[in-house]
Amino acid sequence: MKISCLLLLSILGATSARERRRRAQVTSMGHKGSKGYTPATKAPTKAPTKSPTIAPTTMAPVDCTNAADTDGFTFELMNLPGEMRPCAWLCWNPSKTDERKDRYCGKQAVAHNCSITCGICPPPTAPPTKSPTTSPTTTPSASPSSEPSPSPSTTPTACGDSSTFTFEMINYPGQTRDCAWITGNVFNTQTRQKKYCWKSDVAAACPFACELCPGQTPFPTKAPTKSPTKSPTPSPSQSPSVCEDDATFEFEMINYPGEMRDCKWICWRNIEERRANYCGDADIASSCPVACGLCVP
């Protein structure tokens, strides 16, 4: 019995000694929240990125020193992936010009390559034709050089088209046309004027074809009919006139000069886009009122 008690006391003493050593160790290390406590560090979650994730969005400034729209440049339409348009498309439809410039001229490629059309840079001025003479060329003539003409000429000589100037077609790089081509087809005269006469070199070399001469009579938009289409009715018709498309009318496609389409083509597909591109033309609107959605129910 005495031996058992001594053994029990020895075990309890050893246990107490171990507990005292553990408590002393915890006290020396400190507790969480105390000054002596130092938590273990965690491993880094990810390696540092090699480069910034997003490039800066600031657009580089446009240099207007020798500003000009880039020939042959096209850009993709936002709502029609794969459909490309040149700079001039921004101004083809006057009712859509401001909207198109707001949507596309903020893009760096468009702003740099279409700086004139976007209105970022002013259009270049035509250079002077000749430098001034340093001194009078000759002394005044003793008498008039020739007799005055009996009547004025039919067209002023100061405003006329160049017979040697040619310009490149927008949709066919490498193919050129002269001033006479602009008015060569009465059905397409207005379309070609809108498409090319805004260019400073074409306007300067083809003022007559572009109708820029003072007091000039506008070109006819359609060829006159050979004879009256119908004899007059003996009395006024009882029913109002029918709003319908002209089945014989054709117009030239904006992107494909020489390619003609009728009124039905407007409604085949992409109706809203085609109406926006073509129905702003007075000839098309009057000949295709149904296709253009202009008939009043």
| Per-residue model confidence as pLDDT tens digits over 54-106 | 555 567 788 787 778 888 899 998 888 888 888 888 887 778 888 899 999 98
Question: In whole angstroms, what separates CA 90 from the centre of its chain?
Answer: 4
What is the structure's pLDDT at 167?
94
Residue 156 has pLDDT above 50, yes or no: no
Q: Supply the mean pLDDT for the chain.
A: 76
Question: In angstroms, rounded to a whole number, what is the distance separating the alpha carbons of residues 163 and 206?
Answer: 9
Residue 109 has pLDDT above 50, yes or no: yes
Question: In angstroms, rounded to a whole number, what is the distance separating the alpha carbons of residues 107 and 105?
Answer: 5
Within 8 A by CB and 6+ apart from 161, the residues are: 179, 180, 205, 206, 207, 208, 209
Region of residue 246 (left: phi > 0; alpha: psi -120 to 50; beta: else): beta
List the single range of 97-106, 120-129, 183-192, 278-287 with lowest mean pLDDT: 120-129
How far, in Å, are 1, 16, 18, 19, 21 from residue 8 at the CA level? 11, 12, 16, 17, 20
Question: In angstroms, rounded to a whole number, what is the distance separating the alpha carbons of residues 88 and 116?
Answer: 10
What is the structure's pLDDT at 178?
94
**Which is nearest to 69 in space by CA: 2, 119, 135?**
119
Domain extents for the chain? 65-123, 156-225, 242-297
Region of residue 293 (left: phi > 0; alpha: psi -120 to 50; beta: else): left
Percentage of the chain beyond pLDDT 90 is 15
What is the structure's pLDDT at 130?
59
**Which is nearest to 170 in space by CA: 117, 95, 98?**
117
Task: Please tell me which residue, 227 or 74, carries the higher pLDDT value.
Answer: 74
List the single range of 139-148, 190-199, 215-224 with lowest mean pLDDT: 139-148
Compute the average pLDDT of residues 95-118.
Answer: 89
List the single range of 16-20, 175-179, 237-241, 250-254 with lowest mean pLDDT: 237-241
Burial of 258 (0-12, 13-18, 19+ CB in 10 A): exposed
The single-letter code of the amino acid at 165 is F
Token pair for residue 53?
Answer: 């994730």
Residue 36 has pLDDT above 90, yes or no: no
List the single range of 18-32, 114-128, 178-192 with lowest mean pLDDT: 18-32
Helix H or strand E segment including 176:
strand 176-178
**CB 222 within 8 Å of CB 231:** no
List the single range of 114-123, 132-141, 197-206 with lowest mean pLDDT: 132-141
What is the structure's pLDDT at 205?
93
Residue 173 has pLDDT above 70, yes or no: yes
What is the structure's pLDDT at 163?
93
Residue 212 has pLDDT above 50, yes or no: yes
Q: What is the pTM of this model?
A: 0.29
Q: How confident is the model at residue 149 (pLDDT cuts 50, 70, 90)?
A: low
